[in-house]
Structure 1
Amino acid sequence: MGDSSDGSSNAAPSAQPKATAKSSNGFFGRIVKAISTSEEEVNEQAQTSHNPRPQTHGMINLRRMRVEDVAIPKADIIAVPSSITKSELVDVFRETGLTRLPVFEGTLDTPLGFAHLKDIALKYGFNGSGGEFSLSEMLRPLVFVPPSMTIGVLLTKMQTERRHMALVIDEYGGVDGLVTIEDLIEQVIGEIEDEHDAEEDQLWVMEAPGCYLAQAKMPLDEFEAEAGRKLTAHNDVDAEDVETLGGLVFTISGHVPARGEVVAHPDGTEFEIVDADPRRIKRLRVRFAEAQDG
């Protein structure tokens, strides 16, 4: 693993010319061009921008953001052991909605590669045919990168090597996080929603009286009107500074909560983080006090 990590950090610079030559007129070509822009030009672009508000995405992130800034923490990585059976593996794919899963031996610090749902479907189909199951024969290689690598260098490397997933390796050779090519591109063009993301038009659903499952981007005033509660009526919450449900939770907690974390509102309401990444909350469950008592 140590050799793979070193190779990841050394291979990226030499890969840039190839990527530029192949896609100089396309999206990745513009990305590579942005990576090669001098620091002075990037700073000048930021200073002369007509938009005074800081942007959460854009080409400038390719140079200023590092892998550790966008990687999924180790505790949140969904991975499977090499001893997993075919039916168990299919269940994990089905329950998570993921198409790629890291495979490890013993612990996650000994990764072997990753399993792709497409490979399972093509070889074994959906009716159990295809012979005896062998996960090791279908493993695809992972990219190993240090947390200090800029996301622009990693994006170029992943494009050149045609890899969609990378593991972040710490100084001791252990796994520290995971990043996908989608995570990197989102830092340039903004969030990418696919068929597994929550429906854009359905911002909330009532699971039970006093219990709601909602998207973090739901306007707070709309949620308050639906729930019949005023969540910004408390002294610790300034209504002028909060526009969305996720923004309210961020304000109360003072940080970006991790998946599974429960944040308590001053009035007793609980916010359970259902889906989140290191940068933002995506979905959460709201339980009012009466629902907790029930």
Structure 2
Amino acid sequence: MSSNPDPSSPAARGAPPSEYETDEDSPAQRPGFFARFFGAETSGTDPDDEVLPDDPSTPQTLGPRLPGISNLRRMRVEDVAIPRAEITSVASDTNLPDLVQVFRDSGLTRLPVYDGTLDEPIGLVHLKDIALSYGFNGGDEPFILSESLRPVLYVPPSMPIGVLLTKMQADRIHMALVIDEYGGVDGLLTIEDLIEQVIGEIEDEHDIEEAQPWIKEEDGAFLALARAPLDEFESEIGLDLVDEEEEEEVDTLGGLVFLLTGRVPARGEVVPHPSGVEFEVIDADPRRIKRLRVRLPSEAAE
């Protein structure tokens, strides 16, 4: 039997083994729920099997994906992961007060930890481990973040989310980093992100309601997040903002503005569209656009 490490494990990427990787954390021999579920499911017939995107005879335009068990087969990691620009992470030399502040500001319970840059991840830190080991006032124990790390999975963007969900359950690791072809970090997702593709949005008592992708103002303009889905916004305003060739290049309003300018526009800049629509950059930093105000031509606004 081969002794090569799992390519998705920290050891395969040169990360040091975590103190949490003990026999107690080894996956049980009995297959997990999702492994048993998939095994049972594949033995029967499923109407969705006829519309899998891997079938070369099947049209690729499946439309918006609603929650459902078929998403575990037809969706890939890249369809679910949050982009690199939105990942909240901490450096391995972060002190306890700064770490606690990041937990407070983000509202997250798990954070990826990197050595130098995010492209060199070494594990994740869990809020519960910090609270139980050190408390939030520091205590008397010296704080060393690297001693509190748990392992994190490393997965390619093309992995089916059903496969990843089964692996997360078996390995008892609830966070994965998406690794691109050059070994850099391209995104992040958790086990909750995957389960939501089956049963819909999961919200607990600590979740803060996410802002709507856009709101319509009294003058007929729209105040929109740059990550608002472009196809949904086109349906809202009744205008086509991209042609068939450009549809493959952009998915969001911010991506459309990048396409129009060829650069990251500055805050306050107004970017005109050939249709007469104007995009005003309300909030941006040197790397990305955050919010836009979209003004429609008078006939479209009416």
Structure 1 unaligned regions, length at least 5: 9-14, 47-51, 201-213, 233-241, 275-283, 290-294
- Equivalences for residues 167-246 of structure 1 within 5 A: 167-199=177-209, 214-216=211-213, 224=216, 227-231=217-221
Structure 2: how far apart are the matches of 1:6 and 1:128?
34
Displacement of 1:288 after TM fit?
8.3
Deviation string 1:69-108 (CA, Å, 9 cap, x unpaired) is 2112223222111011111111111111111110011112
Deviation string 1:159-186 (CA, Å, 9 cap, x unpaired) is 1111110112223332222111111111
Query: Match for residue 236 of structure 1?
Result: none
Once the two structures are overlaid, the 10-residue window that deviates more, 246-255 or 53-62, is 246-255
**AA aligned opposite 1:255:** D
Once the two structures are overlaid, the 10-residue window that deviates more, 188-197 or 55-64, is 188-197
Structure 1: how far apart are the matches of 2:158 and 2:150?
25
SS in 1 for 2:119: strand
Structure 1: how far apart are the matches of 2:29 and 2:219?
57
Asked whether the 8 Å contact 2:76–2:159 carries over to 1, the reply is: yes
Q: Pick the aligned partner of 1:95 from 105, 112, 126.
A: 105
Displacement of 1:126 after TM fit?
2.5
Asked whether the 8 Å contact 1:250–1:257 carries over to 2, the reply is: no
Q: Pick the aligned partner of 1:108 from 93, 99, 118.
A: 118
Structure 2: how far apart are the matches of 1:251 and 1:196?
38
Displacement of 1:243 after TM fit?
8.2
- Equivalences for residues 27-176 of structure 1 within 5 A: 28=34, 31-33=37-39, 36=42, 41-44=47-50, 55-176=65-186
Structure 1: how far apart are the matches of 2:239 and 2:41?
32
**AA aligned opposite 2:49:** N
Structure 2: how far apart are the matches of 1:246 and 1:135?
48
Once the two structures are overlaid, the 10-residue window that deviates more, 262-271 or 75-84, is 262-271
SS in 1 for 2:30: helix
SS in 1 for 2:164: helix
**TM-score normalised by structure 2 residue count:** 0.61
SS in 2 for 1:5: coil
**TM-score normalised by structure 1 residue count:** 0.63
- Structure 1 65/159 Cα, relative in aligned 2: closer, same or farther at 3 Å? same
Structure 2 unaligned regions, length at least 5: 11-26, 53-61, 223-230, 243-249, 256-263, 285-289, 296-302
Determine which structure has the larger helix proportion and give its number.
1
Query: Match for residue 19 of structure 1?
Result: 31
Query: Match for residue 14 of structure 2?
Result: none
Percent identity over the alignment is 50
Query: Match for residue 205 of structure 1?
Result: none
